[in-house]
Structure 1
Amino acid sequence: MKQRKYMMSEGLAFSEEKDMKRLSDMASKGWVLDSFAFMGYKLRKAEPQNLIYSLDYRAVEDHNIDEYLDIFENAGWEHICSVYDTHIFAADPGTKPIYSDRSTMIDKYKQSEFTLRYITLFMLCLTAAVTVIRNTFIPGEASILHNTIHVLFVFLIAITIPATLTYAASVFRIWRVKRRNPNLE
């Protein structure tokens, strides 16, 4: 039976570099990345390895996935795992970084920001609609309908606030990279 371990993520929008560094540190201790997990990563026991990890945010259609992965493999990066449009690669230290200049880094983060923008906008609109319904149309605090709408409202707030913060972090990350070179689009 394979030994497995879970490592919590600090949130890729907030600490991508820190997560990748922690994964590298774990690999040097014999715990290599196996896959994404809910709010983190699954690691598997292996021989200690000196690896660096890097992320790419890219929507890739199924019929293009082999070509996409070949590009990274030819540059020395091994595909480790993917979830939705987020892909993690590993390589030996000294391998040329996946993103080596500001313009490609901005493109990388814009891929993530684009998806987050629409998810966040949808969640904000849905939460606003439920708020209006809850405060305007639902009579009687003791009614089942009122209680159901209230539970839905709390659930939506619990999703909308982190989504909004994640989107804001994504926009900030793009701004921070652009600030290093204001001539970039």
Structure 2
Amino acid sequence: MTKKVFKFITVDNVEKEEAFLEEMASKGWFFSKYALLRYHFEQSEPRDYTYCIDYKEDAGDEAEYLTLFEDAGWEHVCSYPILNGKWMYFRKAVKEGAPKEAIFTDNDSMVALWKTIRSRWSWFGGVVVLMLIALGLISLFTSTYIIGSIFIFTVAAILIVLYGKMYIRMTRKIKLRS
């Protein structure tokens, strides 16, 4: 049996996403793919898994990258392409009595990941917001209906808050680990 779950988790909350996937696995729902803000799960016997998420920039070395994780015992679950890179989802069965494993074992690699995420999503959010503001201004001056412009400016404001929150949280994480 399969199950799709809509869950909105922002890029600054990777830990929350990993915990969600681990909780679902403990209930017998195993993550299989992500598409259109929906997590897809396959049902089986409950197991404890550690899920880890990485953002891999497109560099033409994906086969070597995946082999590195496979050699370390991580199973590649799926990839989700976005912004000239991919979210890479991995899992590993939890060994009884062993500490939780992670793909990032040092501060420098974790900080580098957060800086990459902060940079890519800040640029993306900034471009989208500027386009929405331009569209809103065009609509304001060319349309007889102001409601369209109000809607566009509202969406832009929501995105400013969302991306601003993401930028601040990522900056705090970077400062704590640096």
Same fold flag (TM > 0.5): yes
| Aligned partner of 1:140 among 140, 144, 159 | 144
- Structure 1, unmatched stretches of 5+, are none
Deviation at 1:27, TM superposition (A): 0.9
1:106 maps to what in 2? 111
**Structure 1 counterpart of 2:62, one-letter code:** I
- Please say if residues 109 and 170 of structure 1, whose CA atoms lie closer than 8 Å, have aligned partners that are also in contact: no
Per-residue CA deviation, residues 93-132 of structure 1 (Å, 9 max, x unaligned), is 3464111232211111222222212221211211221222
1:86 maps to what in 2? 87
2:40 maps to what in 1? 42
User: Residues 68 and 95 (structure 1 numbering): CA distance in 2 closer, same or farther, change over 3 Å?
Assistant: farther
User: Residues 110 and 40 (structure 1 numbering): CA distance in 2 closer, same or farther, change over 3 Å?
Assistant: farther
1:176 maps to what in 2? 172
Calculate the TM-score normalised by the size of structure 2. 0.80
Q: Distance in 1 between matches of 2:89 and 2:158?
A: 23
- Please say if residues 13 and 169 of structure 1, whose CA atoms lie closer than 8 Å, have aligned partners that are also in contact: no
SS at structure 2 position matched to 1:98: coil
- Please say if residues 127 and 157 of structure 1, whose CA atoms lie closer than 8 Å, have aligned partners that are also in contact: no
Moved more, 114-123 or 83-92: 114-123
Calculate the TM-score normalised by the size of structure 1. 0.77
Deviation at 1:139, TM superposition (A): 5.4
SS at structure 1 position matched to 2:61: helix
Q: Are positions 1:65 and 2:65 aligned together?
A: no
SS at structure 1 position matched to 2:104: coil
**Count of aligned pairs:** 170
1:118 maps to what in 2? 123
Moved more, 101-110 or 11-20: 11-20
Q: CA RMSD in A?
A: 2.5
- Structure 2, unmatched stretches of 5+, are none
- Percent of aligned pairs with the same amino acid: 23
Per-residue CA deviation, residues 47-81 of structure 1 (Å, 9 max, x unaligned), is 222101011012224x4221111121122211101
SS at structure 2 position matched to 1:47: coil
